[in-house]
């Protein structure tokens, strides 16, 4: 998509990011998203990227840079990724993922992790196309 551009997300993106999160079944108000972005975007280990087409945000990816206890490696974790329903299956997720990988490599990370629900088969296919491999089992507990 030649008219696509990528950039770091800003607080001004709160409204559209809230809408994107709602589209992937994580409802957020613009106010909630603004507060969350203010906290996360000011933390050096978090980063968010937006995809724009003709100046309109149509996708976003949020990621985290982490440190391992068991060895001296850094890793990245994709926390969320959403593309507007009108623009899905057009390669935008791949562009966002590529930009995330660049950011992580620049920070020294050598591994990228993403968690996904068991029933998200279309997302699983996308992750495999991006070079991910299924690894392990995840357990969670509400606190």
Q: For 18-57, what is each residue's pLDDT tens digit? A: 999 999 999 999 999 999 999 999 999 999 999 999 999 9
Q: How confident is the model at residue 106 (pLDDT cuts 50, 70, 90)?
A: very high
CA distances from 45 to 21, 60, 67, 69, 81 (A): 21, 17, 10, 16, 17
Percent of the chain with pLDDT over 90: 69
pLDDT in tens, 50-79: 999 999 999 999 999 999 888 888 999 999
DSSP 29: -
**Residue 129: φ, ψ to 5°:** -60, -30
């Amino acid at each position: 998509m030649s008219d696509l551009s990528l950039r770091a997300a800003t607080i001004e993106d709160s409204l559209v990011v809230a809408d994107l999160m709602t589209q992937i079944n994580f409802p957020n108000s613009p106010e909630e998203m603004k507060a969350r972005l203010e906290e996360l975007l000011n933390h050096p280990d978090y980063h968010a990227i937006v995809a724009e087409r003709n100046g309109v945000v149509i996708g976003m990816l949020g990621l985290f840079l982490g440190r391992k206890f068991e060895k001296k490696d850094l890793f990245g974790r994709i926390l969320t990724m959403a593309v507007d329903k009108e623009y899905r299956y057009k390669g935008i997720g791949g562009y966002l993922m590529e930009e995330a990988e660049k950011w992580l490599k620049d920070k020294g990370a050598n591994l990228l992790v993403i968690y996904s629900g068991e029933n998200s088969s279309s997302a699983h296919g996308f992750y495999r196309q991006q070079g991910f491999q299924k690894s392990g089992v995840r357990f969670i507990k509400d606190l």
